[in-house]
Structure 1
């Protein structure tokens, strides 16, 4: 019976991985739902503000915090909307790391649209959830629902209890 269980788990993992590679994967992200209406705090080594274009660029050791969500990157471009002091979106580039609860994701780029609470990560995306890991070309995280969708050559590594 133990051999059958191991074989069944192996086949199940293989089928899950094939399905994930072919169509993308929907996964939970973060232990709690985030609130995109909370204030955004940004720290960095330097800041360059362009009043005419309504943009601010943070450079070096950038850390963004909003409630329980944390994001770090080499650079962060803040684009303001026409409304006074309202952030439209954040564009992070270079070694981007997104952490929400116990989940963490890495990518080369992330774009966070504040109003919708959606972060799109692209470029060698790696999502870790405990001992499990998923990779893909892109991942769209909805902070308000606590979900993510991975697309573009998704690969999954699942650790079973037997290991």
Structure 2
């Protein structure tokens, strides 16, 4: 029974991973995990889900071939790592806003830093703006994207793959600026 309770606790923590990017109601929604198999290691405080893994909670959807969750001794989420071809992430940050969408071969969530790291073939889209390269990091509370400078710990000593990044930034809507313009004279 302890194993089942621990697995349930790790499963519930999966939803904590992305609450900062979420609609306010997401954290109160049930977490649903679908996978071909699940393994729990109580001594190491980890749970591994494999085989077409789909994790949903409210507007959040995370997919991959393998998802590993690790917790600290208090049962709080440390990291969630998703592997796929590609792994995907999507979540709506606010009502009436487009969802944040991401994909990469590996997606890491670091709870202590509230950071999502996309490694290898990384792509992030937010409000029509896109960021892609071998490494893209998103600092959730600061809403800062860092592309192209992979950390050694995040990708096994590689320096972000050495490739160039591509960023596409959409023009701001001028409809809000029209109130500052002087009216046209007839």
> What TM-score range do you get, normalising by the shorter chain?
0.5 to 0.7
TM normalised by structure 1 equals 0.63
Looking at structure 1, the residues matched to 144 and 22 of structure 2 have their Cα atoms a distance apart, in angstroms, of: 10
When the two structures are aligned, how many residues end up with a matched partner?
131
1:98 match: 89
1:155 match: 166
Answer yes or no: is the 8 Å Cα contact 2:22–2:60 preserved in 1. no
Label 1:138 to 1:35 Cα distance change in 2 as closer, same or farther (>3 A).
farther
5+ residue gaps in structure 1?
1-29
> Is 2:118 aligned against 1:121?
yes
1:117 Cα deviation from its structure 2 partner: 2.0
1:150 Cα deviation from its structure 2 partner: 1.6
SS of 1:112 mapped into structure 2: strand
1:70 Cα deviation from its structure 2 partner: 2.5
Label 1:111 to 1:158 Cα distance change in 2 as closer, same or farther (>3 A).
closer
Deviations 1:21-53 (A, max 9, x none): xxxxxxxxx7969998x9865332210111222
TM normalised by structure 2 equals 0.56
Higher strand share: 1
Label 1:42 to 1:141 Cα distance change in 2 as closer, same or farther (>3 A).
farther
Label 1:117 to 1:66 Cα distance change in 2 as closer, same or farther (>3 A).
farther
Answer yes or no: is the 8 Å Cα contact 2:124–2:132 preserved in 1. yes
> Is 2:73 aligned against 1:82?
yes
1:127 Cα deviation from its structure 2 partner: 2.3
Answer yes or no: is the 8 Å Cα contact 1:75–1:92 preserved in 2. yes
User: What is the root-mean-square deviation in Å for CA atoms of aligned residues?
Assistant: 3.3
Looking at structure 2, the residues matched to 78 and 31 of structure 1 have their Cα atoms a distance apart, in angstroms, of: 19
> Is 2:35 aligned against 1:44?
yes
